[in-house]
Amino acid sequence: MAHLALEQPVYRHRAERWELDCDIVIDDGCGRELAARLGNLSERGFMCECEERLPLNTIVIADLPDRGKVRAEIRWVFGWRFGAMILED
């Protein structure tokens, strides 16, 4: 019987997230402003629920509390919820 070597799990550092529950506006890049609910925010990204489903890799502009308007790329989508990475200008 062969013995399997157990691999140590690889842990990625995940940036600190601040849980939020506030309304924001998302500009979908096509001139439409969509209502969204911000769920969490970090230095590099955010998660929110939007009134419309937005496609993966879409570039949006989000008006974030205490940060103003930022450009972000949608990196994952689950129904109306998505996670976006804030892009540096």
- Token match 């096509």: residue? 30
The token pair at 84 is 């976006």
Lowest mean pLDDT among 5-14, 24-33, 38-47: 5-14
From first CA to last CA, the distance across the chain in angstroms is 57
Count of all residues that appear for the chain in the document:
89
Assess whether pLDDT exceeds 70 at residue 1: no
pTM of the model: 0.80
Q: pLDDT for 29-39, tens place per residue?
A: 898 999 999 99
Residue 8 pLDDT level (bands cut at 50, 70, 90):
confident
Residue 89 in tokens: 């200008």
Which domains are assigned to the chain?
18-86 (2.40.10.220)
